[in-house]
Structure 1
Amino acid sequence: MTNAIEIKNGDLSVVVTPAEEDVKKILNHVINELCSQVSVRGFRKGKAPLEVARKYLSQEEINEAYSHTLLDLCFKSIAYDAGVNLSLEGKVAQGAVPQASFAKDGSSVTFTYPLLPVIETLGNYKGIKTDVKAKEVTDQTVEDELKKIAQDESDLTPTEEPIANGFTANCDVRGSIAGVERSELTEKGFDIKVGGVGTIPGLSDKLLGHKVGDNIAADLVMPANYPDDLGGKTVHFDVRINSVKKVVTPEINDELATLQTQYEGAENLEQLKAKIREKQTKDFAEEAENERLNKILTECNKGTKYTLDEARLKDAIVNNQRQKDEKMLSQNGLDLPAYLKLIGMDLATYGNNVYHNTLSQIESTLLRRAIAKAELPAPTADEIKEQFKKFGQDYDKIVAGLTQNLKSTFKNITDEQVKGFIAARVEEIADAVNFPKLRKFLLDNND
């Protein structure tokens, strides 16, 4: 069999053409297999002479079996073709399933894969005005950080006070509809954060002003998007308050400075303030640089032209993410439609969000790689190895293992093809090596 690769309109097609002798072998194999299943009077099943059993087969049966067998063999042909797999490596959307089509005369099979976007024309990435300035460090920004530190050091403390917003009440909750208890709305020892977003909307408000030991009865209409077919129904809740806790936040003083662990070495409040100022000065400058970088890449992306098969690429991206989400949700006893109903989103909106968010990430990566290729020297082998070390991996061992695996999978793979696979597999590592240099280049060449 011969495999021919063609890239067109955002798709990669592999045309698999079997040799004439392969066609004859496949056809003979198919006819023999079909004949082995034929029952002919006077013979045991599958034991009739071939020329006799053949008369009981329709051309439609033969064509269908031939097509299935040819399709399977052609797919195996590309699965073990190093050249085809190298062409697909890192260029096809994750989880993409190829479409198969037969030539009209049945002489070949074409497998078509949706490619990731390809940059046709790279937009401008120099001389872009961003008008971004670093946020100023002030007494107020320091005070806000001190309040956050104090909040992080807060504790939940038991209280006998009447329940107020921000308190947490531990309750036994029983939900029923028309006198019939609903297990999904009944739980003992259930913590309810009053004033927060709860799993039973509106219930926490009914606790305001009550104390430990109180019993509360309340009728609530469940939201229309509530799961378990409870949407829009009136539920009667009986609630007993077992215990109540409130957040106690420490004072901002020298003691807090020594207790907190975010800013090491602070022995009093003034030293803590100084450390906060120092860190905020650095953080605000970095945030401004990140904002500038994002604006530069966004502006560059506006002028960049991509080639892609949007419909097929979207299907591949959304289906892949949906499988991941459904697997994760199933571990929590949910399915995707029920979850989307709970958050008030339909499948179409979910699909559009997944596609556009993923496409944005892909395009950002492509832009950075294209600019780095145009402006920066390629990472050296030593830089790549050092980056692997930072990730706790041994580059030489990974390459040796990959090479061995490639040579055992693809019998006729060349050394150049092995190098191509390795380059594709370490591309993300090369991105990590290039990023600090690329960041500096873009910030230096734009306002």
Structure 2
Amino acid sequence: MKSAVETLNPTRVRLTVEVPFEELKDSLDAAYKKINQQVTVKGFRKGKVPARIIDQRFGRGVVLEEAVNDALPRFYTDAVREAELTPLGQPEVDITELKDGETLNFTAEVEVRPTLEIPDYSGIEVEVDAVEVTDEDVEKAVQQLRERFASTTPVERAAEDGDVVTIDLEAKVDGKVLEDGVAKGVSYTIGSGELLDGIDDAVKGLEAGGEATFTSQLKGGPAAGRDAEITVKVTQVAARELPELDDDFAQLASEFDTLEELKADSRRRLEERKRFEQATQAQERVLEKLLELVEVPIPEKLLEDEIRTRKHNLEHHQLAQMGLTLDKYLEIQGKTAEEFDTETREAAIKGIKTQFVLDELVSKEKLGVNQEELTEHLMRRAASSGMSPDQFAQAVVQQNQVPLLVGEVARGKALALVVEAATVKDTNGQIIDLEDDEDEDAEGAENAEGSEPAEASAGNKGEGEEKSES
């Protein structure tokens, strides 16, 4: 077999392949055998019809077509391997010449990963937020903990800010009660902002048994985004009583003996959270700088597929679970369809760029993934998906997604390498020495804006293999 590669553009090539006819022998034999099992010819037992009879009765062209269809994927794969290409998606194959007993010629156009040049990234500098925890931050955290331990006592008076009211709700749109528009015995803290806009003003001043009607825009369900007439009836008013902020409260709400120890622990936790946020921010900003340094051609078909996948996942998974249509979602977000399309395209481009660049770094730096790293990553992914590690691992194996997870871990290590080489300063001008935490690094790579869907559509796939969605 002979093959040649013509570069059509940085992300698309045309393979021209010439196959000597003798290399079709195995496929021709298989074609005759297959047709033999499918046809019945008088005078011959099933499966024992000679090849010449099949040619006479059904035509040599039928056999050739079956043989070529069987052999093409193998010839294409051999040509791709010989040319050391990394194809993206399925090829467009055109048989240019087929002469019985002589030759088979065909071309295959396919999108490929572009060749990238990764420049020196050691000079990258980024600025991140400083880790600062104020006394007010600590007091707020302690106050939130205090509110979790609040008790309530029913009172016979009008409802006030901070009270917990038990209410019945009924929502109407265009004068009709919605199917999911009735709720009874709902507990609501006035001023929490956890229910509908306007409900605080409606229930304040009402005693048990009182009711009011107000208009509010629904936040969920089939009528999300529409104005509804809401009738609210108060069935009970209860005053909230917060525990005293003292050592007894610290012992009640934590493992600490004193309030000061509780506050010190709250400060430590806040600092840890801000350090994690700082590390994540550093990863995101270093990645943005890295992408600016590398010119990345984007395969057009891959981009179209990526955009289509993102829209499908949003509309049929995320929004469907909330009972929203895409139009309603855009209305709530205050975006036009054109703005949404632009944002989706930009996110898709960034996702593809991110994966291409980090994969190139993985190859350049010869970064490997060991079993321990893969297991830790699988545990994190299982936790974020709400599945047990065993369930998640089984799903990954069944869907042939192990290479996808390996790629995610490797890209996380590549990003960590760039972050380690970069200069990271906080807003106070202090150089930040980020700890080499592989868990955080890997998670940062996964969560980098737009990178996840691209992994599904632009991942490392075998030649001629269908892409899979994660």
Give the aligned partner of residue 211 of structure 1: 207
Deviations along 1:121-146, one digit per CA (max 9) or x if unpaired, are 33552234435573345544433443
Q: How far apart in 1 are the matches of 2:170 and 2:419?
A: 57
Q: Spell out the pairing of 1:183-202 with structure 2 (5 A cutoff).
A: 183-190=179-186, 194-195=190-191, 201-202=197-198
Q: 1:321 aligns with which of 310, 317, 335?
A: 310
Give the TM-score, by structure 2 length.
0.58
Tell whether the 8 Å contact from 2:216 to 2:230 is kept in structure 1 after alignment: no
Pair 1:442-2:440 in alignment:
no
Q: Spell out the pairing of 1:381-420 with structure 2 (5 A cutoff).
A: 384-391=370-377
The Cα of 1:427 is off from its aligned counterpart by 3.3
RMSD, aligned CA: 5.5
Tell whether the 8 Å contact from 1:3 to 1:14 is kept in structure 2 after alignment: yes
Q: How far apart in 2 are the matches of 1:314 and 1:154?
A: 51
Q: Spell out the pairing of 1:54-69 with structure 2 (5 A cutoff).
A: none
Q: How far apart in 2 are the matches of 1:79 and 1:266?
A: 68
Q: Spell out the pairing of 1:300-315 with structure 2 (5 A cutoff).
A: 300-309=290-299, 311-315=300-304
Give the aligned partner of residue 157 of structure 1: 152
Deviations along 1:79-121, one digit per CA (max 9) or x if unpaired, are 98795699787x74xxxx6474647889646453475xx4633
Deviations along 1:216-237, one digit per CA (max 9) or x if unpaired, are 234x3758x998579777x544
Q: How far apart in 2 are the matches of 1:422 and 1:227?
A: 37
Deviations along 1:261-306, one digit per CA (max 9) or x if unpaired, are 4xxx532122233334445555555554554444333323222211
Give the aligned partner of residue 443 of structure 2: none
Tell whether the 8 Å contact from 2:116 to 2:360 is kept in structure 1 after alignment: no
Q: What secondary structure, in the 3-state scheme, does the structure 2 residue paired with 1:163 have?
A: coil
Q: 1:256 aligns with which of 217, 241, 249?
A: 249
Pair 1:356-2:346 in alignment:
yes
Q: How far apart in 1 are the matches of 2:212 and 2:363?
A: 67
Residue 283 and residue 188 in structure 1: after superposition, are their counterparts in 2 closer, same or farther (change >3 A)?
Answer: closer
Give the aligned partner of residue 239 of structure 1: 232
2:205 partner letter? G
Residue 72 and residue 373 in structure 1: after superposition, are their counterparts in 2 closer, same or farther (change >3 A)?
Answer: closer
2:233 partner letter? R
Residue 178 and residue 298 in structure 1: after superposition, are their counterparts in 2 closer, same or farther (change >3 A)?
Answer: closer
Pair 1:270-2:260 in alignment:
yes
1:208 partner letter? K
Q: 1:143 aligns with which of 111, 114, 139?
A: 139
Residue 175 and residue 150 in structure 1: after superposition, are their counterparts in 2 closer, same or farther (change >3 A)?
Answer: closer
Q: What secondary structure, in the 3-state scheme, does the structure 1 residue paired with 2:422 have?
A: helix
- Give structure 2 stretches of 5+ with no counterpart: 40-54, 99-104, 380-396, 432-470
Residue 202 and residue 71 in structure 1: after superposition, are their counterparts in 2 closer, same or farther (change >3 A)?
Answer: farther
1:238 partner letter? T
Residue 248 and residue 188 in structure 1: after superposition, are their counterparts in 2 closer, same or farther (change >3 A)?
Answer: same
Residue 71 and residue 200 in structure 1: after superposition, are their counterparts in 2 closer, same or farther (change >3 A)?
Answer: farther
Q: What secondary structure, in the 3-state scheme, does the structure 2 residue paired with 1:130 have?
A: strand
Give the TM-score, by structure 1 length.
0.60
Q: How far apart in 1 are the matches of 2:198 and 2:67?
A: 62
Q: Spell out the pairing of 1:71-86 with structure 2 (5 A cutoff).
A: none
Q: What secondary structure, in the 3-state scheme, does the structure 1 residue paired with 2:371 have?
A: helix
- Give structure 1 stretches of 5+ with no counterpart: 37-49, 55-61, 394-404, 410-420
Residue 221 and residue 279 in structure 1: after superposition, are their counterparts in 2 closer, same or farther (change >3 A)?
Answer: closer
The Cα of 1:260 is off from its aligned counterpart by 3.4
